[in-house]
């Protein structure tokens, strides 16, 4: 899967050639638009969550105002790109706009839309927590194919148990002191 950045004449030409043979989900945006900036995070999640099975026939594109102007001025084989509002999310198929996405700007809803319209085969619903664990962000994840040694885990558990016992002793000591003060 390629993410096209359409912002000048050469990139617009490449985008048009690719749109003839691939399904492209394009985001038409303006870098100064607050709604476009707000949708960047969900767009990034969309990129991460498209399953590898789709990468051979599906691309993403980010088209800025200059790229839109190039595509509209050149009239590439009647692409029919007429964007009135940004951000606009459109599906390009066979070199033309096939669908416009008008739902929530949420990566899950966008993926479900693409799946329902049969543009995507499958999609990856891995949560952010699972991706973090997969990258080694949790103590319990595998690293280099092996789990952390049992000895290290038991040592950590012993240290935690020691802290708990120490805290309980302190609290009991403070209670005794309070009781002595109240009896006197």
pLDDT digit string, tens, across residues 22-75: 889 999 998 888 998 999 999 999 988 887 777 778 889 999 888 888 877 766
CATH number at residue 54: 3.40.30.10
Q: Which domain holds residue 66?
A: 3-125
Tokens of 183: 């009896």
* 119 within domain boundaries: yes
Burial 137-165 (b: 16+ CB within 10 A, else e): eeeeeeeeeeeeeeeeeeeeeeeeeeeee
| Number of helices (H), then strands (E), in the chain | 6, 5
Beta strand pairing call for 96-101 and 88-93: antiparallel
* 87 within domain boundaries: yes
* 157 within domain boundaries: no
Is the model's pLDDT at 140 over the cut of 60?
Answer: no
* 36 within domain boundaries: yes
Domains contained in the chain, number: 1
* 78 within domain boundaries: yes
Round to whole Å and give the CA distance between 23 and 177.
75
* 41 within domain boundaries: yes
* 67 within domain boundaries: yes
* 137 within domain boundaries: no
């Amino acid at each position: 899967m390629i993410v096209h950045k359409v912002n000048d004449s050469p990139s617009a030409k490449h985008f048009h050639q690719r749109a003839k043979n691939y399904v492209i989900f394009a985001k038409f945006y303006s870098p100064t638009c607050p709604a476009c900036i707000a949708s960047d995070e969900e767009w990034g999640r969309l990129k991460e969550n498209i399953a590898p099975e789709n990468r051979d026939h599906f691309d993403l594109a980010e088209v800025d105002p200059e790229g839109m102007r190039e595509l509209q001025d050149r009239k590439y084989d009647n692409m029919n790109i007429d964007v009135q509002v940004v951000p606009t999310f459109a599906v390009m198929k066979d070199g033309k706009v096939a669908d416009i996405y008008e739902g929530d700007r949420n990566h899950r809803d966008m993926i479900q839309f693409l799946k329902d319209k049969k543009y995507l085969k499958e999609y990856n619903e891995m949560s952010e927590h699972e991706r973090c664990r997969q990258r080694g962000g949790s103590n319990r994840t595998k690293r280099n194919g092996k789990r952390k040694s049992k000895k290290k885990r038991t040592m950590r558990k012993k240290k935690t148990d020691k802290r708990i016992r120490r805290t309980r002793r302190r609290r009991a000591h403070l209670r005794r002191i309070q009781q002595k003060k109240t009896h006197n």
